[in-house]
Amino acid sequence: MNTIKWPGQQTLQAWRHDFHRHPETAYQEHRTSQRVTELLQSFGLEVHTGLAGTGVVAVLRGKRGDGPSIGLRADMDALHVQELNNCEHKSVNEGRMHACGHDGHTTMLLGAAQALASNPDFAGTVHFIFQPAEENEGGARTMIEQGLFERFPMDAVYSMHNWPGLPVGTAAVHSTAVMAAFDIFDLTLTGKGCHAAMPHLGKDALLAACQLVTQLPALIAREQEVHKPAVLSVTSFNAGDTYNVMPEVIKLRGTVRCFDMEQRARIEQRFRDAIAATCTLHGLEAQLDYRVSYPATINHPEHADICAEVLTQVLGEGNVRRDLKPSMASEDFSFMSQTRPGVYIWMGNGEDSASLHNPKYDFNDNVLPKGVQYFVELVYALLRDGKLPKAG
């Protein structure tokens, strides 16, 4: 009987540090994709490239013959952040860093691919999905649009994200909602500019924009059901460039986040109503570009129970949280999990970890072996032990 050849800590750490040192942002992950491809091929896997440009999918068929097909997904892209760490594996790419831990996610899935390739003791097929452009650009959606699930049929798909604040050696599994839907907007208000000493000669877009920004939170606080969380945030306000001129054009941008899709539509409509009312009151014109971006990431309960069971075996009794509230952050794995059943879990990155997207963040290398083991044991549970829930 074959035994599993687990990648050692030093090997995993070397891979992760290499990815961290050479971060690449959305759809530019050329070096990362090439390195991932080389490693997967060295494990003896069937490797496909080109989906979403830099995406990679590797296929491993079990030695027990035909059976279900599942996907395991990791994101590869970095962020436009200037790293402030001084570690040896600090980013060498100016203005770019792995500030969200995708270097760790990619490493853990590579480790699982190597381990499973050494002993594919299951019936069915595993697809290892290395996805570009998770950060804001919807790489998962692009892979799906370009035929991910047609070329690589899957009965279910699974992913994970490291989670600062959770101790290393713990994880969280949600039964349903995990991450919020994410929309973005750009709003331009146009009035009539004038001398600051003679505001009666203009149409004050600046005053109207300020009123709108302070009024918008009421769309959440006073119009949405309290048990359905939502957030509307104006994150950029651009107006004027001198002391004695009332600006003619004001530009705002921001985000809307929630979990309920009907609620999402109501918020957008009331947002548009508020803009129209403000413009009517102040005699302004408005141009709104409202873009529906990521849907909410919703786990499938039966699959979540299996993932929690596997994690308990890997991490130990009492180290798997089922009670954490979902996050208002967003994740484009949602495109996959709304197309196929699946689960997105959080793996603890340490209570003292810098937050995600922080310039001093770094993935905790101690998490790497546990992430590899989780993916491997999940595959065995689903495809060897027959725990994959039946469709429908």
Annotated binding site for Mn(2+): 100, 102, 135, 161, 357
Closest CA to 386 of 124, 63, 109: 124
| Residue 323 burial by Cβ neighbours in a 10 Å radius (0-12, 13-18, 19+) | exposed
Partner residues linked to 131 by β-bridges = 75
Instruction: Summarize pLDDT for 265-308 with one digit per residue, the tens.
Output: 999 999 999 999 999 999 999 999 999 999 999 999 999 999 99
Output the CATH code of domain 9-179+296-384.
Answer: 3.40.630.10
Q: Are strands 69-75 and 125-131 parallel, antiparallel or unpaired?
A: parallel
The confidence score (pLDDT) of residue 76 equals: 98
* Cα–Cα separations (whole angstroms), residue 69 to 40, 63, 114: 19, 13, 18
Angular region, 5: left φ>0, alpha ψ -120 to 50, beta rest = beta
Closest CA to 59 of 144, 116, 5: 116
Partner residues linked to 232 by β-bridges = 256
Give CA–CA dist 172/180, Å, rounded.
16
| Residue 251 burial by Cβ neighbours in a 10 Å radius (0-12, 13-18, 19+) | middle
The confidence score (pLDDT) of residue 172 equals: 98
Structural contact between residues 73 and 159, judged by C-beta atoms closer than 8 angstroms: yes
Enumerate long-range contacts of 264-272, CB under 8 Å, 24 or more apart. Answer: 264/181, 264/183, 264/292, 266/223, 266/224, 267/219, 267/220, 267/224, 267/230, 267/232, 268/183, 268/292, 270/219, 270/223, 271/185, 271/216, 271/219, 271/232
Instruction: Delimit the domains of the chain by residue range.
Output: 9-179+296-384, 181-294
Ranges under pLDDT 70 in the chain: 1, 392
Tokens 């985000």 label which residue?
A: 255
The confidence score (pLDDT) of residue 86 equals: 95
The confidence score (pLDDT) of residue 392 equals: 55
Same fold, 9-179+296-384 and 181-294: no
Output the CATH code of domain 181-294.
Answer: 3.30.70.360
Annotated binding site: 100, 102, 135, 161, 357
Give CA–CA dist 270/343, Å, rounded.
32
Radius of gyration of the chain (CA): 24
